[in-house]
Chain A
Amino acid sequence: MKKLLKVALAAFMAVGLTACSGSGEKDEVTVAFVTDTGGINDKSFNQTSYQGLVDFTKEMGYAEPKYIESKADADYIPNLTTFADEKVDLIVAAGFKFDKAIAAVAEKYADQKLLVIDVGWLDAGKYKNVQQAVFTEHEGSFLVGVVAALKAQELGEKTVGYITGGDSASMLKFYAGYQQGVWAVDPEMKVLYDNANKFDDVALGKTLAEKQFAECSVIFHAAGGTGNGVIEAAKEAVLNGKEKWVIGVDKDQYEEGFYDDAKTKSVILTSMLKRVDVAAYNAAKAVAEGTFKGGVVTYALKDNGVGLPENNPNLTDDITAKVKDFTQKVVDGEITVSETPVTNAENPNTTFTGSTSQN
C-alpha cells in the first residue's frame, strides 16, 4: 500500500513538471466561455456561442478556448471571476440569466473585457468593457411567420402554431415577429400560442405539440430542449401518414428532424437562425484587432444576425422567393417589425392572452 502511494506520487510529480513548462505564450489572445446550467453540449446557445470562439481560435491557430460549466445559478459569479483572475482577454457568457453576474464582475474588474449575449439592458456608461449582444429575433421570426403562413396556404389551412419556453420580454419578441409574418401573408390566419414555461421539458413540448397539431400543420417552436418534444411529435405524426412541419430555432435544426433511417427526410421546414456564434466570433476578433468596444451591439437581419438557413430542402422555390422579397423589405425598412405581440383581446386571431408575469 505505502509503496503504491509512493510510486503514484512520483508519477504525479513527473507529469506535473512537464505540464508546467507547457503553458502558452502570452502574446496569444485568450478567450474563455462560461455556460449556464444547460452545459456546453446543450445543442443551443451555449454550444453555438462557444462554437464562435472555437472558430476564432482555429482561424488564428490558437489553442481551443477554455470553458467552465456552471452547476447552479449561484456559480456564475465565481466562474466568471475564475477567468478574470486568470487574466483572460475576453470572457463570453450567453443568456439573460448572466446579466447580474456580468455586472458584478465588471464592477470588480474594470479592465476585464466581457461579452454577454442576449442582455441589452446593462448601463453602458457604467460598464465600459461589457459588450452586450442582442438580436432582432422579431425580424427573423417575421420571416418564419411568412414561411409558416405560406405553407399553411399550400395545405389549404388557416391556422399555424407556436410553442415557447417562456414569456419574458425577450421571448415575446419571437411571437411578435411570428404573428406579423403570418398576418403579412394572410391577416385572417389564426396563430396559436402555448407556453411550456420551461426550456427543458421534452414531454411537455410533445404534449403541447400534439394538441396544436390537431388544429394545424406547422408549428414554430422557440423553446430550446422543450422544442425537441415538438419535433418528436411531428415525426410521429409523419410516420403515421400525416403531413406536419416544425420550424426550428436558434440554429439550423434540419438534422434533428430526420425521421427516416436514411436521414434524408426531415420534419424541419426551416429554422429561425440566431447567429450567437457570429456575435462571439466578432467580439473575439475585435479584441485581437484592438477594436473591441462596450455597449449594446445589435445583430439585425441586415447584419445576418438573424435569418433563415442558406439551404432549405423542404421549401418550394415559390416560398423561398417570397421570403427573399420580405427579407429585402425588412432590410430596406419598408416593413418595421414590432417587438410586442398582439393579444387575443386586440385580435381574435391569436390565442395569446398576455404574459403570465405581472409587470
Chain B
Amino acid sequence: MKKYSHLTISLIAVATGLIFAFLLTLLTGKNPYDLLTALVRSMTGFNLQNIGSFNITYVLNWFLNAVPIILTGLSVAFAYRTGLFNIGGEGQIIAGSTAAAAVAILFDLPPVIHPIVCILAAALAGALWGLLPGFLKAYRNINEVVICIMMNYSGMYFCSWFTKRFLPIDPNTNERTISILKSAELPQVFTSTTSQFNWGFLVAIIGLFVFWFIIEKTTFGYSLRATGFNKEAARFAGMKVERNITLSMMIAGAFSGIAGAVLILGIYKYGRIFTTFDNYGFDGISVALVGGAQSIGVFLAGLLFGLFKAASGNLQLFNIPKEISELIQAIIIYLVAIQYAITLLLNKINMKKNKNQLENKVEGGNTSCN
C-alpha cells in the first residue's frame, strides 16, 4: 500500500471542498462565479467583476485572520506532538486575553516594551491554564480532554469575575474594560490602509519558528516527541515523561494565551468580559489537524482557514451565504480526518491504472518473467 504525503491529501481535501462548494452554490440557485469572485477578492484584493479595482485591505485582512488561528494551531500541534489533545484553547485564550488586558491597562510602560510584557503575561496565563490538565494527565492519568473542557468554562467565568473586580470597566457599556493604554497596542503595519493588520503577525512568525526549533532541533523537543510517540519507551530510556507531559501542555497553553494577547492588543484594544467562546481555540484544532502538526503545515493551514474566515464578508457581499465557507472548511477537515480513506481511494485508482497497463502489456506480448 502506497503512502501519500500529508500535503497531497490536504490539497485533495481543499480541492474537493471547493468543488463541493461550487456545486452547492449552483444547486441553491446562486452564481458560482460570485463565489469565485469573493474568494479571489479575499485573497488578492482584485474584483473579477469590476476589472481594475484593487483593494489591498482584503489581502491584509486575510493575513490578519490567519494570525490568531496559526497561534492556536501551534498550541494544539505542540500538545499533539507529545501525545496530548489540547481542546482547552478557549480557556487559555481567555486567560491570555485577560492577562494581556490587565497589563495593558494597569501598567504604564514605554512602547514596544509594553506589548512585549503584555504578550509574556498572556503566555504565562495561558501556560497556567494548561498546567492543571497537563499535571493531572501526567501524574494521575486523568483524561486531559475532560479537564481541558472544564478549564474552558472555569477560565471564562473566572476571567469575567477577575475583569469586573479588578479592571476599570467602560461605563457606557458595562460589558468590557476601558481602552488599553496606547503604548500597549500592537500598531497597524500599514497605516495608510483600512485593515487592522498589525505587528501581531510578527508574533505568529516567531511562534512558528520557536515551535519548529523546539520540536525539531532541541533535546527537549526530542524527548517530547519520544514521549508523544511511545510513552513507555521514553520512560524506559530514562526520560522524565511526567514532567514532559506537564510542560508540553503548559507550552501549548502559552501559544493560545499569546493568541489571546494578539487579539486584545491588535484588534479589540480593550479588555473583554467573555460570555461565550470565540472558537479560535477550536479552529486551532482544525488548523493543527490539516497542518499535520508541523510548523510549516500549521502555517499553510492557518492561511487557508484564515482565508475562509476573512472571505465571510465578501461572500455575503456577493450574495453567497456565509455558511458556504463553513461548509468548505467542514469538508476539508472531514477529508483530512479520514485521510486513510483517501489513501485507499488513491491506491485503488493507481491499481486500476496499473492493471490497465498490465493488460495492455499482455496484449503487446511483452510480459517477461525474468
Contact = CB atoms under 8 A, between A and B. Distances in A.
A13 interface: yes
Interface in A307-346: none
A358 B164 contact: yes
Contacts of A77: 196, 267
Nearest to A200: B276
Interface residues of B, number: 42
A85 B194 contact: yes
B339 interface: no
Given A13-B33, A72-B278, A357 B174 contact: yes
A167 B174 contact: yes
A71 B269 contact: no
B169 A357 contact: yes
B172 A169 contact: yes
Nearest to A35: B316
Contacts of B75: none
Contacts of B268: 73-74
Given A19-B49, A99-B172, A69 B57 contact: no
A69 B316 contact: yes
Interface string A1-36: 000000010011101100110010000000000000
Contacts of B172: 96, 99, 119, 121, 168-169
B182 interface: no
B164 A357 contact: yes
A75 B312 contact: yes
Contact of B174 (A83, A169, A200): A169
Given A12-B36, A84-B194, A357-B164, A198 B275 contact: yes
Nearest to A171: B174
Contact of A97 (B49, B175, B322): B175
B171 interface: yes
Interface string B175-213: 100000000000000000011100000000000000000
Q: Is the contact region of chain A dominated by helix, strand, or loop, or is it mixed? A: helix
Given A66-B317, A78-B313, A359-B169, 16 more contacts: A8-B22, A12-B22, A15-B31, A16-B31, A16-B37, A19-B34, A75-B313, A82-B317, A83-B317, A85-B57, A96-B175, A119-B172, A168-B172, A170-B173, A171-B174, A359-B174
Interface of A: 8, 11-13, 15-16, 19-20, 23, 66-69, 71-75, 77-79, 81-86, 96-97, 99-100, 105, 108-109, 119, 121, 166-171, 197-198, 200, 355-359
Interface of B: 22, 31-34, 36-37, 48-49, 55, 57, 61, 64, 164-165, 169, 171-175, 194-196, 263, 267-270, 272, 275-276, 278-279, 309-310, 312-314, 316-317, 322
15 contacts: A13-B33, A16-B33, A16-B49, A73-B278, A75-B313, A77-B196, A78-B196, A82-B317, A85-B55, A85-B57, A100-B269, A100-B270, A108-B194, A171-B174, A359-B171
Closest 3 CB pairs of A and B: A16-B33, A168-B174, A68-B316
